[in-house]
């Protein structure tokens, strides 16, 4: 996402909404996340921090390890939509 600063998913608090910017994960993990619906520029919401990290992508909740969450980089939605 051009002109924006991406941050690790682990930086977000429950309820915050962001869009996927990049993943810094191995090919197998990236492929698995894609198959679960986490694709380029997907909108996601943090449901729970911890291990696992629970995120909502579309109508699906996904649990990922804290290590994987640290390799998922996102950009915040506009300020008015940051809290869901």
Please tell me the pTM assigned to this model.
0.86
Residues in the chain predicted with pLDDT less than 70, given as ranges, are 1-3, 78-84
CATH number for 17: 2.30.30.90
pLDDT of residue 55: 98
pLDDT of residue 2: 56
Looking at the 3D structure of the chain, how many domains does it have?
1
28 within domain boundaries: yes
pLDDT of residue 4: 78
2 within domain boundaries: no
> Which residues constitute the domain of residue 30?
7-81
1 within domain boundaries: no
pLDDT of residue 19: 97
pLDDT of residue 3: 60
- Helix H, strand E, coil C: the string for 40-80 is CCCEEEEEECCCCEEEEECCEEEEECHHHHHCEEEEECCHH
């Amino acid at each position: 996402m051009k002109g924006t600063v991406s941050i690790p998913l682990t930086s977000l608090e429950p309820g915050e909404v962001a869009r996927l910017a990049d993943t810094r994960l191995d090919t197998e993990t990236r492929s698995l996340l894609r198959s679960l619906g986490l694709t380029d520029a997907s909108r996601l919401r943090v449901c729970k921090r911890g291990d696992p990290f629970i995120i909502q992508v579309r109508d699906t909740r996904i649990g990922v390890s804290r290590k994987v969450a640290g390799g998922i980089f996102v950009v915040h939605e506009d300020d008015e939509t940051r809290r869901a």
